[in-house]
């Protein structure tokens, strides 16, 4: 049976742990709000970019095959996986679920006889994948958007991807990240970014078809598209990073909430044991005194 | 790199139809990947297009174009009400809207002239020192943006005096 002092020490230690997890939860909550606001602010650009792209693509596809970023290299041999994780842990299953999905993809692609290359964003992904797939990891990015995620961060990653694509180092590129659904749920998503599949516009098709035909292009479609597609790649990376940042904070918030609650339960249990032990000790002393008095 | 607006119905406030009302305004939007920078209704907006400056009035033919580094002027009546420098991007014009997607944008009034001059000097030196062809190209691209920015401030201060 533990002594009263031991119990007291344990209670104090669990209490300070609880304070830390509660603080982390609050920090994550405020960071989550910021990340959500940022994702919200980035939406107008992405929407308009998508609208331009779909109208351009419709025009170009009708004529020729379009730039390589959209049409692909015509091969499907080398795959580049950009695995986005966090730099820090203590956020539940956030990192491990991304890594698990990445491993699954690697196994799947290798099973089909493809070559796989990996680019990691975030320290946790790099550390985890290095144990099993060290040979595949090319470039790693760390501390991306530590203070505040900016478009320049995404641009840097996209520039590297483009460089590799120009050099013919891969045919297909996908990003693996966590899509933010709510603070409780994040969905691991594998999204192909090169060659880029232009989303079909969901609006009423006939109306947009008419609008498409009416656009004038300066310079011509192909040239605009050739400039727009690299931008679009940066945007896709940026969006993935934003979603990931929001997911990370959401996952951390939930994990820390659980930890705080768990610590509370633990404190209750320990306090109960402590009080029982103390009571038993007092009773024992009383009995000793009383029997001593009776013996006289 | 002085490029004049092209002739035709799309240029110049003087060509506006008589008796126009509020409905003849253009919804101008300037968005960066990080946020919506400006959104307002103006009479005319002049955008530095990849193939020359162009003015947009209400009822402009729909078009999509590239934007080179330069200044976007917004007009209310015949007055310039706002001047914003953009470091290149894309513009989409429809009959009622003009949307500019820019990576970098700053109000001309907020550009620090000394800093802009310094940037041009530094980048000029960097271009000289560039080791590889690729490095030189990116630096030259940045230099062009910095020069356009400086030109924007100079034009702005000249107009003020």
Please provide residue A181's backbone torsions phi and psi, each rounded to the nearest 5 degrees.
Answer: -110, -50
The mean per-residue pLDDT over the stretch A34-54 comes to 86
CATH number at residue A52: 3.40.1380.10
In whole angstroms, how large is the CA radius of gyration of chain A?
A: 28
Q: Give the three-class secondary structure for A203.
A: coil
CATH number at residue A262: 1.10.287.80
| Residues A278 and A182 occupy one common structural domain | no
| Residues A210 and A68 occupy one common structural domain | yes
Residues facing residue A217 across a β-bridge: B64
Q: Which of A41, A154, A218 sits opposite B49 (nearest CB)?
A: A218
Chain B nearest CA to A244, separation (Å): 16
- Residue B63 to residue A235, Cβ atoms within 8 A: no
DSSP-derived letter for residue B15 is G
Q: How many domains does chain A have?
A: 2
| Residues A10 and A125 occupy one common structural domain | no
- Residue B92 to residue A41, Cβ atoms within 8 A: no
A208-232 in b/e burial notation, b at 16+ Cβ within 10 A? beeebeebebbeebeebbbbbbbbb
Contact B48, B70 (CB under 8 A): yes
What's the complex ipTM? 0.70
Which of the pair, A155 or A71, is modelled with greater confidence? Answer: A155
Q: Which residue ranges make up each domain of chain B?
A: 13-108, 111-160
Compute the residue count for chain B. 161
A91 is catalytic: yes
- Residue B50 to residue A218, Cβ atoms within 8 A: yes
The mean per-residue pLDDT over the stretch B42-64 comes to 89
pLDDT at res. A279: 95
Query: By the CB < 8 Å criterion, does A219 face chain B?
Result: yes
pLDDT at res. A226: 83
Task: Tell me which residue range forms the domain holding A145.
Answer: 33-253
Residues of A in contact with B92 (CB under 8 A): 48, 51-52
| Residues A16 and A97 occupy one common structural domain | no
- Residue B63 to residue A219, Cβ atoms within 8 A: no
- pLDDT 10s digits, B114-156: 888 888 888 888 888 878 887 888 888 888 888 888 888 877 6
Q: Tell me which CATH code domain B13-108 carries.
A: 2.60.15.10
Does B11 score more than 50 pLDDT?
A: no
The mean per-residue pLDDT over the stretch A110-119 comes to 92
């Amino acid at each position: 049976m533990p002594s009263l002092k031991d119990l007291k020490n344990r209670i104090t230690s669990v209490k300070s742990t609880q304070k830390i997890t509660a603080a982390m939860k609050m920090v994550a909550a405020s960071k989550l709000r910021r990340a959500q606001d940022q994702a919200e602010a980035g939406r107008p650009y992405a929407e308009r970019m998508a609208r331009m792209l779909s109208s351009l693509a419709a025009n170009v596809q009708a004529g020729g095959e379009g730039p390589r970023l959209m049409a692909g290299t015509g091969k499907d041999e080398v795959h580049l996986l950009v695995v986005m994780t966090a730099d820090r842990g203590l956020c539940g299953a956030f990192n491990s679920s991304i890594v698990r999905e990445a491993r699954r993809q690697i196994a799947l692609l290798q099973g089909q006889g493809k070559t796989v290359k990996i680019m990691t964003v975030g320290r946790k992904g790099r550390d985890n994948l290095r144990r099993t797939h060290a040979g595949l990891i090319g470039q790693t990015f760390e501390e991306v958007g530590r203070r505040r995620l900016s478009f320049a961060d995404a641009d840097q990653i996209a520039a590297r991807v483009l460089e590799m694509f120009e050099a013919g180092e891969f045919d297909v590129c996908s990003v693996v990240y966590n899509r933010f659904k709510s603070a409780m749920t994040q969905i691991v998503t594998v999204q192909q970014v090169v060659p880029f599949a232009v989303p079909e516009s969901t609006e009423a098709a006939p109306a947009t078809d008419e609008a498409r035909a009416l656009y004038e292009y300066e310079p011509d479609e192909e040239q605009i598209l050739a400039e727009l597609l690299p931008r679009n790649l940066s945007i896709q990376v940026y969006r993935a990073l934003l979603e990931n940042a929001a997911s990370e904070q959401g996952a951390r918030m939930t994990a820390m909430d659980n930890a705080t609650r768990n610590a509370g339960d633990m404190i209750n249990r320990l306090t109960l044991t402590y009080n029982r032990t103390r009571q038993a000790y007092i009773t024992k002393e009383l009995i000793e005194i009383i029997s001593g008095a009776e013996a006289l | 790199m002085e490029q004049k607006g092209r002739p035709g119905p799309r240029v110049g406030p003087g060509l506006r139809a008589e008796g126009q009302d509020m409905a003849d305004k253009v919804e101008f939007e300037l968005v960066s990947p990080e946020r919506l920078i400006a959104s307002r209704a103006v009479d005319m907006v002049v955008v530095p297009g990849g193939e020359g400056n162009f003015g947009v009035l209400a009822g402009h033919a729909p078009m999509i174009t590239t934007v080179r580094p330069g200044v976007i002027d917004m007009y209310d009546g015949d007055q310039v009400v706002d001047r914003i420098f953009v470091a290149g991007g894309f513009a989409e014009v429809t009959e009622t809207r003009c949307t500019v997607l820019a990576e970098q944008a700053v109000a001309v009034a907020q550009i620090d002239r000394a800093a802009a001059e310094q940037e041009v000097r530094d980048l000029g030196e960097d271009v000289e020192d560039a080791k590889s062809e690729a490095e030189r190209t990116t630096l030259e691209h940045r230099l062009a943006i910095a020069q356009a920015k400086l030109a924007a401030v100079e034009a702005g201060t000249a107009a003020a005096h």
